[in-house]
Each structure stands twice: as structure tokens, then as C-alpha cells.
Structure 1
Amino acid sequence: MNHNLRTNKYKRISAFCFGCILYLCSFSAFAQQPTSDVGNFYPLLDAYAGKHNSSLSYLAKDWKSDKKWRRTARAQLNELLAYHPGPAPLNTQILKTTKRHGYTQYLVRYNLNALQQTEAYLLIPDNLKKPAPAIIALHDHGGFYFFGKEKHTLTDNPPPILVDYIQNLYDGRYYADELAKRGFVVLCPDVNYFGSQKLLPELLTPHDTEAYYKQLDGLDESGRIKAFNKLAGAHEVQMEKTILTAGTTWLGIIMQGDRVAIDFLLSRPEVDPNRIGCIGLSLGGLRSTYLFGLDERIKVGVVAAFSTTYAQMLQQHAHHTWMMYVPRQYQFLDLPDVASLNAPRPLLVMNCLQDKLFSREGMQAAEQKLATVYNKMKVPEKFSCRYYDVPHSMNIQMQEDAFAWLEKWLK
């Protein structure tokens, strides 16, 4: 009897110890997993993406024809972007003309398709004697939805909140104006959800806007703009849900509008159709990546503060806008693969080492991919990736480097 008691006691102790070991092993396994924006689901998604990605990358296999690769990859990307509303006449209107120092600024409106219009600032340099190179200045996001095109060119009586914004992100300089003074025709278009295309609170349900309207009382202009930006930011998720339900993508809507910006420039006699480039910071950098990659009419690209790989973004991506995501794209093309679609044409990528939106590893991985593509095409000099020890921004030094790049390849 005592023997059986001792045996049962030993069994219970052994089972307890074994359970402790299993618990500690399990805890250790969890402790070894990296933290992420999706917690314990990250290993699952990372493992899946690791086996199903970038099948149409230039580096995925030895393509017999660069043209066939480019045509195949662009067709797939256009299908994934899933926004094809059909063309419509531009029907351009000039709303305002302002003579500035070194250029003339036109506020214009034109059709994007049969259902959408946008406004843009067109900057024409003084004393043009022949068609000039042109740049599409693609504005950023920054949670600042009230304005778009106004972030790049001087306007009359800008509110303090806009002045501070430009100071923080651009060292206080309107870089589109500077490009115009250097002889470039520049177009600064509003993109979907910003500026002239911004959300209209009066068309939202009262439930969504009751608190917004209450807080407007007593606010100055900058305060009202700040309140609007908060409202628009909160509604990005509703926009994304509805856009996906409608069978399209937000980035598809954005890119269709940006490609019409090229159509607009080609309608202008001041523009040399063979010398068009694009530049942008942050969301503008994303837009520049896709516009450069998708449209062969763009001859030079500049991407500022939006370069990474999806592998790095899988772990941490919570602070990015809903506008950037294209369902299933990673199966076919990584983000740097999109930019590579216009190789061997010149591309400058500028990264910010203090950028909290992207990891240094992601920046370097994207650089390695693009450098390998340009090296494989035997034109390494047409790709440049530079790093600046600054936060998420495009300061004057970065602007000067971008201007030099554009002048090198377009003038």
C-alpha cells in the first residue's frame, strides 16, 4: 500500500514537472517571437508571404525580354489596382492666374474621368523660348487632408497651420516654386481625398459629424483645419472598406488621377513631351514610385521617404495610411519591384535615417533590390540611393540633390 502511494506521488510530481517544462518551453517560444502590430499572427502571415511573393520581379527569373517582363508586370499591377473608369475629355478651366517671381502660377481644373475632377497649380517659368522639361510634384499625406497642392507652391495668405507644416517637412520652402524658377514647368495636382477632392463633412451622416461640428465653435482658421484633418483621418477606414466593397482600390483611384496629370501636361504647348519627371515625399513618394513604374511617359523619378520592402512592413505597418495597400500585390511585386518597372530610366531614392515609418533594414533591402536590377541592366549610374540623418521630411539639402538629379537627366 505504501509502495503504491509512493508510486502515485512520484507520478504526480513527474506530471507536474513535465507540465512546468512544457509551459516554460511554450513561454520561451513565445518570448522568442518578435513583437509586431498583429501580435501572435505575425509568424503565420510572415511564413505565408515568404513563400508567395514577387513572382513577377525582374529578379525572380531570367526574363528573355525586358519588354515582355515590363508588359506582363505592368498588366498584372494595373489589374490589381482595379480602377479603370474610362477616359474623358480634360475640359481644362483656368480659375485664377497669378504672376509670381520668376514664373506664372495658374490654378486649373480638369476632368480625371466622367465622374471626377481635380484642381492643380500649373507653374510656367518666365521667358520660355521653347518647350521645357516638366515635373509633376506629388504632394504628401501627413494627416493634412485640407490642403494638397498648396503644400508645394506659394498661395496668398496661407494659414499658420500650413506655414508650420511646410516648415517642418520642407524646411519652409515651396519646392515646386523653386523648380519653376529653374526652368521647369511644374504641375501640382490634388489627389483623391485632399484639397479640392477632400471629404465633405456635410454629406456624412449626422452621427459621424455631430462632435465635429460642435467643436468648431470658437476655433480660428487653423483650429478648424486641424479639426477637419482629424475627422478625415478617422474616416480613412470607412473609405477603405467602401472602396474594397466597390471592387476597386484606393491606390488605383489615386494612380488613375496621377496618370491624367501626364495627359494634362501633354496638352500644354510649353511642355516637352519627352522630358517629364515626377517627385514626391511620403505619400508623394509612394505616388512617385507607382507613377514612375507604371507609365513610360515618365522619364525620371524621385522618391523621398517612402522606400522599403513588404517583408519589413509585415511586422510593423500600423502608422501607414490605408491608401497604400493593394490586395495580393506582394504575390507578384514588392514595392521596389514597382519602381523597377521603368528601369533603366533614372531613379533617385532618398531615405531619412530618423524616419519612424520605415526601418533602416527595409530601406537597405529596397536599395539592394533596385541596385541589383539596374546593375543587371548594365546601367548602375542611373540609380542612386541616398541617406540623410533627418526625420521623415524632404529638407533643402534633399531638395537640392533632387533638383540636381532632375537637371542632369532632363536638361
Structure 2
Amino acid sequence: MWNPDAVMEKLYHSYEQKRQEQQRQETAGQTRDRLKQGLADSLQIGMLKEDEPLPVLLERIEREDHIRERIEFGTVLGFRVPAYVLIPRGKKGPSAAVLALHGHGYGSRQIAGMHPDGSENTGEPDSHGNYALELVRRGFIVMVPEIIGFGDRRLAVDLKEGKVGSSSCQALASHLLLYGISLAGLRVQEAQRAIDYMLSRDDVDGGRVGCFGFSGGALIASYTAAMDERVKAAVLCAFANTFKGSIMHVRHCIDNYLPGALAYGELPELMGLIAPRPLFIASGKQDPIFPVATAEVSIQYLQNLYTEAGAAENLGFHLYEGKHEVNGSQAYPWLVKAMERELSGH
């Protein structure tokens, strides 16, 4: 047989064996340091030129239960990013805040209660579940940046085509690779700059900032929380898995692939860099692209890690009946409690 399947399988296991051999020669702390350095190198953390944020308020609209601001701010390499900031009405004093990162779809409006054209969506929520709205209604200030490659941040050719929900991931990722930059790395660094902006606001409690991501947004939330300890709690919805069981098992968008990752760690190990900070995993039992069997492998690894760190109570998970979709029925109250614990110092 000339097909490459057997060789590719052998390659995966050879890298797995190398990682295991290396870990046997390390302390737990050394393994963690190596994983974090490897992830930082893959993401090029600190290597892209940062811009002055120079935030601009574009609009401010009062809704029934929250205020919606539209801003733009600078990140890296000259990119300007539009974002929504949802603020609970009647909130007094600095509040806990959440960076809400959308998945593949039509962008920031999809989780903030709007149609692609910006008009209000009063119907039933789609697979994204309007989780930015759900979070602001639970008292959080919620920032929803437009992730590069989606919505208003697609390439001009894709915007001109006008197809709702299309992305520019393939072209952006391909072009960035020619410069040695991964799309995941760019997105994580833009998420970090969004946190910079959040911490500059007088109404945000800088000690209580969390991330909530769905699908590709959960990838960004995961790696951002792993690298940036300003993130005090993270919710990863429809993402937690193994590389082998998900993005190497079925076809995924190119933005999921991180250069050199398997040289230093599998996905559960990278998510484990969030420990011992609070982490919640949510995943649909019928999700075809992040299968439940390998989601459970990931959860078991994290349970062991959090237990060894003496922080078992900081890990939560919910495997729900559903496909590739948001179900926040347990994630939302978990995040509220996690932030309350941060406020009390426990």
C-alpha cells in the first residue's frame, strides 16, 4: 500500500514516546515549564509588534437590561479590532468581566444577540447560544471582540462575496505562515490585548477577569488562559479533546493547527497549564468534530492533574445531550461562583 496512513500513525506514536521519555526525566515543574515555553514559542508570544491600543468609542446603546458599547482598539502589527462591550444596567463599582470569544460563524454579533447586519435578534438563539448576553445578564461586564477572519474582519474578497458566516481563515493562515506566524498565535495575542483594554476600564475589577469560548473561540480562550495568568477562570465549550481524537481525526479549519505542538505536548497537557486556576469543560455528547470519547480522555487527564495540584474543586465539566453547540446551563452558574470565590479571596 502506498497510502501514508501507517506512516502518519507511526509518526504520532513516535512523538508520543519521545514526550513520555522526556517527562520521565523531569519533575512536574520542569514539565510544566517546558510545555509553557513550547506553547509560547508556537504562539510567538511577545514576538509580534504591539500597537498602542488607542481605544475609540463608536456607539453606546441602552438596552432593556444592559448597555452595549461598540469600540475599536489596536492590537499588534497595525491591526484595529472592533468589539462590543456589554455592561449590566445599574451596576455599581468595579465588576467581574469576561472575554467572550465566538466560534466559526458570523462573528461577534452572533453571541451578542444580533443578526449579521447588527439588527436585534429576538428569536431563538442558534448553536452559539447568545452566551455574551447570558453572561451580562448574570452581572458580568462582557467584551466581545471580532476575531480576525470573521464578520467585519474578513478579507475584502470575502466581504465582497457577501456570504453570511464565511471566514477568511484559510487565506489568512496560509499567508501568515509565509511570515512564520500562526493564525492561532495572532488570535491569542489579540485576545491578550483585549484583556489589556478591559483592565484599563474603571468599571472592571482587574482581579476577576475570565474567558468563555466556544469551538474556535475556546481554542483562543484555552491558550490565552494557559499563557496569561490575568485570566482567573476559563470556560471551554465544544473544544476540550485530544489532537489525535479531534483535529487529526476529522477535517477541521486550518486555524486549529499549532506549529510544532506535538513536539512538546498533546492538547490536554496544554489545557492543563491553566491549573490550578478554575477551569470548566462543556461538550456535547453527539459533537461530531470533538468526539465525546476523547473529550472524556481529556477530562480524565485534567481531573488527575487538578487532584495532584490539590485543586480538584477548581475543575468542572458538563457532558450534555447535544451536538456542536453551546449549553451553558451548568457553565454559567459555575463561572459566577468561580468569580465570587475570587472576590472572597478563596
TM-score when normalising by structure 2: 0.88
Question: 1:336 deviation in Å?
Answer: 1.4
Which residue in 1 is equivalent to 2:337? 408
Which residue in 1 is equivalent to 2:142? 186
Question: 1:278 deviation in Å?
Answer: 0.5
Which letter maps to 1:410? M
The correspondence for 2:156, drawn from 175, 200, 209, is 200
Which residue in 2 is equivalent to 1:76? 38
Question: 1:73 deviation in Å?
Answer: 2.4
The correspondence for 2:257, drawn from 315, 325, 344, is 325
Distance 1:105 1:241 in 2: 35
Which residue in 1 is equivalent to 2:208? 275
Counterpart mapping for 1:104-119 below 5 A? 104-119=67-82
Which residue in 1 is equivalent to 2:111? 152
Note if contact 1:42-1:314 (Cα within 8 Å) is conserved in structure 2. Answer: no
Note if contact 2:243-2:266 (Cα within 8 Å) is conserved in structure 1. Answer: yes
Q: Which moved more, 1:96-105 or 1:44-53?
A: 44-53
Higher alpha-carbon Rg:
1
Instruction: State the SS of the aligned residue for 1:53.
Output: helix
Once superposed, what is the RMSD of the aligned Cα atoms? 2.8
Query: Is 1:138 aligned with 2:96?
Result: no
Question: 1:383 deviation in Å?
Answer: 1.0
Which residue in 1 is equivalent to 2:297? 365
The correspondence for 2:241, drawn from 308, 318, 324, is 308
Which letter maps to 1:272? D
Aligned CA distance change for structure 1 residues 165 and 189 (closer, same or farther; 3 Å)? farther
- Could you say which structure has the greater relative contact order, defined with CA pairs below 8 angstroms and 6 or more residues apart? 1
Distance 1:48 1:162 in 2: 50
Distance 2:122 2:133 in 1: 18
Question: 1:241 deviation in Å?
Answer: 2.5
Q: Which runs of 4+ in 1 moved over 6 A?
A: 54-57
Matched pairs, number: 338
Distance 1:237 1:94 in 2: 31
The correspondence for 1:168, drawn from 118, 126, 142, is 126
Question: 1:368 deviation in Å?
Answer: 1.5
Which residue in 1 is equivalent to 2:189? 256
Aligned CA distance change for structure 1 residues 169 and 82 (closer, same or farther; 3 Å)? same
Distance 1:130 1:314 in 2: 43
Query: Is 1:101 aligned with 2:30?
Result: no
Aligned CA distance change for structure 1 residues 347 and 53 (closer, same or farther; 3 Å)? same
Aligned CA distance change for structure 1 residues 176 and 65 (closer, same or farther; 3 Å)? same
Which residue in 1 is equivalent to 2:344? none
Note if contact 2:149-2:172 (Cα within 8 Å) is conserved in structure 1. Answer: no
Counterpart mapping for 1:33-48 below 5 A? 40-48=3-11
Note if contact 1:82-1:247 (Cα within 8 Å) is conserved in structure 2. Answer: no
Aligned CA distance change for structure 1 residues 390 and 161 (closer, same or farther; 3 Å)? farther
Question: 1:42 deviation in Å?
Answer: 2.3
TM-score when normalising by structure 1: 0.75
Distance 1:114 1:349 in 2: 33
Question: 1:310 deviation in Å?
Answer: 1.8
What per-residue deviation string (whole Å, max 9, x for no partner) do you get for residues 29-57 of structure 1? x7xxxxxxxx9322211212212138779
Q: What runs of 5+ residues in structure 2 fail to find an aligned partner?
A: 341-346
Note if contact 2:101-2:217 (Cα within 8 Å) is conserved in structure 1. Answer: yes
Which residue in 2 is equivalent to 1:125? 88
Note if contact 2:127-2:324 (Cα within 8 Å) is conserved in structure 1. Answer: yes
Identity, % of aligned positions: 25
Note if contact 1:193-1:199 (Cα within 8 Å) is conserved in structure 2. Answer: yes
Question: 1:62 deviation in Å?
Answer: 7.7
The correspondence for 2:230, drawn from 268, 279, 297, is 297
Distance 2:248 2:9 in 1: 8
Instruction: State the SS of the aligned residue for 2:287.
Output: coil
What per-residue deviation string (whole Å, max 9, x for no partner) do you get for residues 139-159 of structure 1? 011xx3xx311011134x655
Note if contact 2:176-2:183 (Cα within 8 Å) is conserved in structure 1. Answer: yes
Note if contact 1:54-1:60 (Cα within 8 Å) is conserved in structure 2. Answer: no
Aligned CA distance change for structure 1 residues 181 and 389 (closer, same or farther; 3 Å)? closer
Question: 1:61 deviation in Å?
Answer: 4.2
Aligned CA distance change for structure 1 residues 56 and 302 (closer, same or farther; 3 Å)? farther
Which letter maps to 2:256? M
Distance 2:127 2:158 in 1: 31
Which letter maps to 2:329? E
